[in-house]
Structure 1
Amino acid sequence: MGKVAIVTGGTRGIGRAICEKLQADGFTVVANYAGNDEAARKFTDETGIATYKWDVGDHEATQAGCAKVAAEVGPVDVVVNNAGITRDGTLMRMGFDDWNEVMRINLGGCFNMAKACFPGMKERGWGRIVNIGSINGQAGQYGQVNYAAAKSGIHGFTKALAQEGARFKITVNAIAPGYIDTDMVAAVPDEVLEKIVAKIPVGRLGKAEEIARGVSFLCSEDAAFVTGSTMSINGGQHMY
């Protein structure tokens, strides 16, 4: 059995592409999801990848979920923190719950997953943590003070945890995707999406598979000297 990898928010979009790529790389992959049982069943039927349900923003549920994966599948060697939500709105219109939920899941989920899996990686002397940030965490975005703050926090979290993990051969890196052709982006009104694409130098949206290839590299032995880094995959839209 290959090394065990958990991908949070792994049954759809970028998460699914990451799961499929890591599976092709020889990892034993587990996909975490929060709520859509039908999508999870379809995902497993189509990929053969097991799914485990818990809310990554819930500390106790994450501890229990990761322990269950370790008991049933094997010790967790790779964590890809991909799960995330949006609750967009200007500050004047944004309620505290909109702020708190995004911070709880998008940023808190990274802490909860690392807290659950880092000790085992340290004990075994090897690990990979890849956190999915965002171009909007680097450049900001109107109407997304919650999302931009959470994603920016992920980049800081990555740099700090990388310093803790380095001596134990645990690398911690981030990927900052630009606008990717997923369901989340598809929900953007056409006239807004046209303006976004017009600002991308390569002239198109990214593909989920392109993010997955970045994750694949960071999880490989080839990336053993890469830690505390943020890989921007955004078609040149923001050169950071």
Structure 2
Amino acid sequence: MELKQSVIAITGAGRGLGQMMAITLAHAGAELALIDVDEDALVDTKKQCNMLGVKALSYGVDITKENDVERTFSDIVTDFGQLNGLVNNAGILRDGLLVKVKEGEVSKLSLEQFNSVINVNLTGTFLCGRETALQMINGGHKGVIINISSVARAGNIGQSNYAASKAAVATLAMTWGKELARYGIRAAAIAPGVIETDMTRQMKPVARERLEKMVPVGRMGQAQEIAETVKFIFENEYVNARVFEVDGGISM
């Protein structure tokens, strides 16, 4: 897909990976529909994209709300005239052991804590992917949907909700790639490993060093490396229904 003047929607675009994806795609000439539950967080992302000479608009929306997602993607097509791609990047963490024994008392992971992650990471991805496909088909446009998964999809201690959600969004991408190819719509997923973020930069040096030693290449990944993988998937027309593990070899 030619990125120049294509319209790409990115969820969770206010900071971190989402912001870097937006800037990278803006460098390639794409126009951006920037989505985040915190619209104020989108101000800097939008400004940086606009400075690169591309159209970028922000949309404050809770992606777990079906009516809001439907309205937002309809608005995107009205505002830009088309929709050619989506990066389902928005996600949250609320870690906790399934059950935990402390001083003889057994506590359990609450349904609310489990569902809070599933609702954003999985239901939100489903809703945004569905509405993107609908708008592409109605508009007669080919396109690409990319879901951001994680190496945690293989299972990780204390992450029943997160791991389940990230396994599911990878499977959704595989399914959509097969279902939607007849309409000229490709789908894929990226499963990042340990990526340098504001949180990891605040870790104690000894904890950071221990984490880096777990990665065969000996370092954390950079947001730019994930963003470049997003760009590659958009541009390579033969990529479909696959999960790309960008993790320095740490796959679980």
Normalising by structure 1, we get a TM-score of: 0.92
Amino acid aligned to 1:227: N
Q: Percent of aligned positions with the same letter in both sequences?
A: 31
- In structure 2, do the counterparts of structure 1 residues 99 and 176 end up closer, same or farther at CA, with 3 Å as the change threshold? same
- Work out the number of aligned pairs and report it: 235
User: Letter of the aligned partner of 1:151 in structure 2?
Assistant: K
Task: Verify: 1:106 aligned to 2:121, yes or no.
Answer: yes
Runs of 4+ in 1 over 6 A off after TM superposition: none
Moved more, 163-172 or 121-130: 121-130
Which residues of 2 match residues 159-170 of structure 1 at below 5 A? Answer: 159-170=174-185
Q: Which residue number corresponds to residue 43 of structure 1?
A: 45
Amino acid at match of 1:132: I
Q: Which amino acid aligns with 1:79?
A: L
Residue 129 of structure 1 corresponds to which residue in structure 2?
145
Could you say if the C-alpha distance between residues 90 and 189 of structure 1 is closer, same or farther in structure 2, counting changes exceeding 3 Å?
farther
Confirm or deny: 8 A CA contact 1:122 1:165 kept in the other structure.
no
Query: Are 2:183 and 1:156 equivalent residues in the alignment?
Result: no
Pairing partner for 2:79 from 72, 76, 82: 72
What amino acid does structure 2 have at the position aligned with 1:176?
Answer: A
Partner residue, 2:35: 32
How far is 1:156 from its partner? 1.0
Unaligned 5+ runs, structure 1:
none
**2:237 is the counterpart of 1:234:** no
* Aligned mates of 1:171, 1:196 — CA distance in 2: 35
Q: Which has the larger radius of gyration?
A: 2
How far apart, in 2, do the equivalents of 1:144 and 1:151 lie? 10
Task: Confirm or deny that 1:22 pairs with 2:35.
Answer: no
Relative to structure 1, is the Cα distance of residues 35 and 173 closer, same or farther in structure 2, using a 3 angstrom cutoff? same
Alignment partners' CA distance in 1, 2:149 and 2:183: 24
The answer (yes or no) to whether the contact 2:22–2:45 under 8 Å persists in 1 is: no
184 and 169 in structure 1: CA distance in 2 versus 1, 3 angstrom threshold = farther
Residue 151 of structure 1 deviates from its aligned partner by 0.1
Provide the alpha-carbon RMSD of the alignment. 1.8
Q: Which moved more, 1:69-78 or 1:96-105?
A: 69-78
- TM-score with structure 2 length normalisation? 0.88
Counterpart check, 1:58 vs 2:58: no
- Other-structure match for 2:11: 8
Q: Which structure 2 segments of 5+ residues have no match?
A: 51-55, 100-107
